[in-house]
Structure formats: structure tokens, C-alpha cells
Structure 1
């Protein structure tokens, strides 16, 4: 009787390990962290939940974007997005083209949104566009 109970507990434990492994492998946050470490582009967003901010990483910089819902001519859409870098010291080396690429990727997902950058990126973009 004790041996059967021990085997049953062992099977349950193995199934739990397999479940935990799959849950870890397919976690979207893990994919974002991996792309951040490898300095690749990755966009993590819950498009159905407007209240939840999106995260994106590009060239080793982690950005966070805050979405605001508004009206367009046909429906309610995300009409405004504020973006900032989580760590401003990691912005070193990014160019105007890099920020344009990030804006284009966001525009693909939210075509009606006006994108505003927070400081210090905002000042850089204003200076570059004035020239």
C-alpha cells in the first residue's frame, strides 16, 4: 500500500515538473527578457486590455508605453501613447532612426495613436527634427 502511494506521489510530482517547465518556456515575459539580453526587438502587449501598459525592447533598451483610449471617426481606439525608457542610461548609442523604427512598430499595432515620448527622448527628437 505504501509503495503504491509513493509511486502515485512520484507520478504527480513528475507531471507537476512537466507542467511547470511548459509554463516557464511559453511565458511571454521570459521571451521579452531574452530579447532584451540579446538586444533584439520584442513587443509585449495585451491588446485587449487598454489599461495595461505595453513593454518593448530594442537594442538592449527596455521601453514602457502607456495607452489612452479615445474616439476615432468609427470606434473607440487607442488614440494616445506615452513612451519612456525604463533605464535612461541604456539609451546611449541610439539614433533618431532607432526611435523612428520603434514608432513605426507601434504605429503598426495602433494606427490611430499619437505617440509622445517622455524626457529625455522628447528633447532629443525635438532638437533633431528642428535641424
Structure 2
């Protein structure tokens, strides 16, 4: 009887280990850090939840965007996104074209949004997009 109980406990432990490994590889923050290390573009966003901030990585720089809900044409949509860099030192090498690329990606997901860049990024943008 004890042998059967130990076998069941081993199966439960094995299932728990497999579940933990699965959750580790599916973790979106892990994917965000990998994209940052590889200097790729990756956006972490829950579009259904307007209270969650947008996190995105581009060329090794981590950006965060705060979403604000407001009235659009016929419904309530995200109408303003304030984007800032968590570490301004990571902005080295980011050009105006890179910022326009990020704006384009945000506007694809949120077509009614106005993108507002926080300091020091707004100093690079001389002509804002409307």
C-alpha cells in the first residue's frame, strides 16, 4: 500500500514540475527580458485591461506606457498613452525614426490614441505626429 502511495506522490510531483516548467517558458516578462537582451522589438500589453501599463522593448531599451481611457467617436477607447523610458541611460542610440516606429506600433493597437512622450524623449521629437 505504501509503495502505491509513493508512486502516486511521485506522479503528482512530476506533474507539478512539468507545470512549473511550462509556466516558466510561457511567462511574458521572461520574453520581455529576452527581447531586451537580444535588442529586438517586443510589446507586453493586455489590451482588454486599460489599467495595465504597456511595456515594450526596442533596441535594448525598455519603455513603459500609461494608458488613459476616454471617449472616442462612438465608444470609450484608449485616447492617450504617455510613454517614458525606465532607464534614460538606455536611450543611447535611439533615433527619431525608432520613436516613429514605436508610435506606429502603438497606433496599430490603439488607433484613437494620442502618443505623448515624457522627458527626455520629448526633446528629440521636434515635430510631433498628429
Structure number with the higher helix fraction is 1
Output the TM-score relative to the length of structure 1.
Answer: 0.94
How far 1:27 sits from its partner (Å)? 1.4
Inter-partner Cα distance in structure 1 for 2:124 and 2:30: 31
Task: Give the count of matched residue pairs.
Answer: 128
Inter-partner Cα distance in structure 2 for 1:41 and 1:65: 15
SS, match of residue 80 in structure 1: strand
Inter-partner Cα distance in structure 1 for 2:95 and 2:19: 43
- Where structure 2 has 5 or more consecutive residues not aligned to the other structure, the ranges are none
Task: State how 1:95-110 maps to structure 2 within 5 Å.
Answer: 95-110=95-110
Off by >4 Å, runs of 4+ in structure 1: none
CA deviations over 1:28-79 (Å, ceiling 9, x no partner): 1111111111110001101011011010000000000000000111111100
Equivalent in the alignment of 2:91: 91
The answer to whether the aligner puts 1:63 opposite 2:63 as a matched pair is yes
